[in-house]
Amino acid sequence: MQVIVNNVFFTLQEDESKAKIKLLKLLNVEDKEIQDFKLIKKAIDARKKDHILIVCSFLVNLKHPYKFFNTNIKKVNFVEDLAIPQIEMVKRPIIVGFGPAGMFLGLYLARAKTRPIIIERGKSIEERIKDINLFRDKGIFNGNSNVSFGEGGAGTFSDGKLNTGIKDPRIRFCLKEFIKHGAPEEIYYEAHPHIGSDKLRNVVKSIREEIISLGGEVRFEHQFIGFESRENLIVKIKKDRGTMYELKTDDLILAIGHSARDTYQMLYQQGLYMKPKDFSMGVRIEHLQENVNFSQFGKEYKNPKLPVADYKLVLHLPNNRTLYSFCMCPGGEVVASNSAENEIVTNGMSNYKRDFDNANSALLVNVKVNDYYQGSPLDGIEYQRKYEQAAYNLNCPYFAPIQKVGDFLKNKTTKKIGKVKPSYKPGYYFANMENYLPYFVVESLKIGLPILQSKYNFFKDDEAIMTGVETRSSSPVMIPRNEQGFSNIANIYPCGEGASYAGGIMSAAIDGLRVGEFIRKKYEK
Ligand SMILES: Cc1cc2nc3c(=O)[nH]c(=O)nc-3n(C[C@H](O)[C@H](O)[C@H](O)COP(=O)(O)OP(=O)(O)OC[C@H]3O[C@@H](n4cnc5c(N)ncnc54)[C@H](O)[C@@H]3O)c2cc1C
């Protein structure tokens, strides 16, 4: 019999190796009844700063069946593996995009022996790193090889956070695959699992190698530029130096992410149905990580059993908007994640150790379709672009506008940096953020920041830095699919974040697997 035992508490002074003693007590069984047990969830409860607890869940295999009346003990049938049967198909499937959605779909289809061909406009991780460093150090931008495009997709130069709002049995499978390919083992049980950008790079490469070893292909610097759909699908691809070629397939998967604006445009012109959707805009805010740690954990904040602190906050404001933190990166840095020339877009990343001085997080306000819609499903993209281009300053190309929180609240352009040093590269310029964001985003920040300052100590810091503009937390477009997984055009499957079926690394990976299952069903005899 398999059970999950939730709410097993440890104080910071207690030794977690005593887990079995606690389990025996909670289950009220004899020692020999427990065949084995495994930690599957570990979280910190710091609501009482003088009594911080580590809260764990364990999966326990018991020798005999029992009835339990304790609500913390649940009978389960725990699934960690995904059955991937061989799929018999004539033509090789084509996946566009090698982000988390394309990678996990690629893995699924390669294990199903379909020898997928993956088309990725960006470069392999080894080459991509060089381009990103060139941009960060010298401001030389490459439109096909940057923080948004290239091997591993937008997730590679990220914090590598794997938490997701969705509940899905495939999560365990994804976590196991990440670990198998080099991610730290603790992601399996941490409540807020994260890999870190430094480790993610090797994970991504290892997944590519497995796909290739199973007969799949990853074609870097190849861009999907169009298709014909009559009796058969013909996919048009451009190699980096401009040569074009075509491939025939019966299954074309679009895992293009939310930043491939030229690809959206082409797909729209070719008749792919899409609709506008709500998204969010705002700034990245940086605080000293030490202040966040102290604010969240109190005097225990240096205890080695505690992680680098994070936060998540939501405010529903009187102006009918929501202000919320998103993609908080402890001990990380603010990164440029524009995908085209002459734009400024912020995001955040961190390495495994999360040991940089600043904590950063997006501080976002919801943007409704009504705020921007003028008749085209791509209007949201235009709206984003308008603000991204306004933030681009010809006098200091690719530098981002920054402002101290105190100055923003007093409507003053910042003149001098305080103790929080902006981490954005290649550089920054002083600005008044009011000029770079929609009025309702500015209004919401002005209402919300004082409330946050009254609730969280680290928000009281007037020298905290705001860097703009954060426009790409989610896709402004949805490409709907039917119960077979098709778009309005048969055999074309929208997938991942670009189609609005995911919002983050884990949910994109899961959506890749979901599309794999659509394809499996299509060929089931
Ligand atoms: C800096 C940064 C930090 C982030 N941090 C986190 C985090 O910590 N946790 C988290 O959950 N999420 C994070 N995210 C978001 C996360 O990365 C995305 O949600 C996720 O990568 C989406 O996966 P995807 O596969 O759908 O698309 P993407 O990862 O965007 O991948 C799409 C791929 O398609 C390729 N492509 C596009 N068009 C074409 C074309 N025409 N031809 C060929 N290839 C094409 C692109 O080059 C790209 O590699 C972060 C994003 C950024 C930018």
- pLDDT tens for each residue of 355-389: 999 999 999 999 999 999 999 999 999 999 999 99
Q: At 310, is the pLDDT very low, low, confident or very high (cuts 50, 70, 90)? A: very high
Which of 497, 500, 501 to probe ligand 1 with, by most ligand atoms within 8 A of CB?
497
Give the closest residue to 417 by CA, choosing from 465, 453, 468: 465
Give tens-digit pLDDT for 478-523: 999 999 999 999 999 999 999 999 999 999 999 999 999 999 999 9
Q: At 16, is the pLDDT very low, low, confident or very high (cuts 50, 70, 90)? A: confident
CA–CA distance, 390 with 342 (Å, rounded to integer): 9
Give the closest residue to 445 by CA, choosing from 391, 408, 473: 408
| pLDDT of 121 over the 80 cut | yes
Please tell me the distance between residue 157's alpha carbon and the centre of ligand 1 in angstroms.
9
| pLDDT of 525 over the 90 cut | no
Give the closest residue to 469 by CA, choosing from 497, 415, 433: 433
> What is the pairing mode between strands 222-229 and 233-239?
antiparallel
Which of 142, 158, 264 to probe ligand 1 with, by most ligand atoms within 8 A of CB?
158
Please tell me the distance between residue 31's alpha carbon and the centre of ligand 1 in angstroms.
48
Q: Which atom of ligand 1 is nearest to the CA of 97?
A: 34
Ligand 1 lined by 332 (C-beta under 6 Å) = no
45-59, 208-222, 228-242, 298-312: least confident range: 228-242
Report the pLDDT value the prediction gives residue 487, as an integer from 0 to 100.
Answer: 98
Q: At 353, is the pLDDT very low, low, confident or very high (cuts 50, 70, 90)? A: very high
CA–CA distance, 405 with 463 (Å, rounded to integer): 6
Ligand 1 lined by 260 (C-beta under 6 Å) = yes
| pLDDT of 241 over the 90 cut | no
The DSSP call for residue 484 is T
Q: Whose CA is nearest to atom 52 of ligand 1?
A: 154
Ligand 1 lined by 513 (C-beta under 6 Å) = no
Report the pLDDT value the prediction gives residue 328, as an integer from 0 to 100.
Answer: 97
Report the pLDDT value the prediction gives residue 231, as an integer from 0 to 100.
Answer: 79
Ligand 1 lined by 516 (C-beta under 6 Å) = no
Please tell me the distance between residue 472's alpha carbon and the centre of ligand 1 in angstroms.
11
CA–CA distance, 361 with 287 (Å, rounded to integer): 9
Question: What average pLDDT score do residues 216-242 get?
Answer: 93
Amino acid at 480: P
3-class state of residue 57 by DSSP = strand
Q: In DSSP terms, which residues pair with 43 in a beta bridge?
A: 55
Percent of the chain with pLDDT over 70: 100
Tell me if 114 sits within 8 A of 249, measured CB to CB. Answer: no
pTM reported for the whole predicted model: 0.96
Ligand 1 lined by 94 (C-beta under 6 Å) = no
Please tell me the distance between residue 222's alpha carbon and the centre of ligand 1 in angstroms.
17
Q: Whose CA is nearest to atom 22 of ligand 1?
A: 497
Structural domains in the chain, sorted by start:
2-75 (3.30.70.2700), 94-274+479-523 (3.50.50.60), 278-470 (no CATH)
Which of 256, 384, 471, 495 to probe ligand 1 with, by most ligand atoms within 8 A of CB?
256
Q: What are the Cα distances from residue 177, in Å, to 73, 103, 106, 129, 203?
A: 28, 11, 13, 23, 9
Report the pLDDT value the prediction gives residue 235, as an integer from 0 to 100.
Answer: 97
- The continuous run of DSSP H or E covering 8 comes out as strand 2-11
Which of 236, 327, 384, 424 to probe ligand 1 with, by most ligand atoms within 8 A of CB?
327
> Which residues, at least 6 apart from 513, have a Cβ–Cβ distance to it below 8 Å?
82, 104, 105, 108, 170, 173, 174
Q: Which atom of ligand 1 is nearest to the CA of 163?
A: 11
Please tell me the distance between residue 50's alpha carbon and the centre of ligand 1 in angstroms.
41
Ligand 1 lined by 158 (C-beta under 6 Å) = yes
- CA angle at residue 461 from 301 to 326, to 5 degrees? 75
Q: Which residues of 346-379 are buried (b: 16+ CB within 10 A; e: fewer)?
A: bbbbbbbebebbbbbbbbbbbbeeebbeeeebbb
Ligand 1 lined by 96 (C-beta under 6 Å) = yes
CA–CA distance, 2 with 114 (Å, rounded to integer): 35
CA–CA distance, 439 with 454 (Å, rounded to integer): 24
Give the closest residue to 273 by CA, choosing from 481, 433, 10: 481
- The continuous run of DSSP H or E covering 405 comes out as helix 405-409
* CA 6 to centroid of chain Cα atoms: 27
Tokens for 178?
Answer: 């990440």
Q: Whose CA is nearest to atom 2 of ligand 1?
A: 158
| pLDDT of 23 over the 80 cut | yes
Q: What mean pLDDT, rounded, does the chain reach?
A: 96
Give tens-digit pLDDT for 187-201: 999 999 999 999 999
- The continuous run of DSSP H or E covering 334 comes out as strand 333-336
Give tens-digit pLDDT for 139-179: 999 999 999 999 999 989 988 999 888 889 899 999 999 99
The DSSP call for residue 325 is E
Report the pLDDT value the prediction gives residue 240, as an integer from 0 to 100.
Answer: 76
Tell me if 41 sits within 8 A of 189, measured CB to CB. Answer: yes
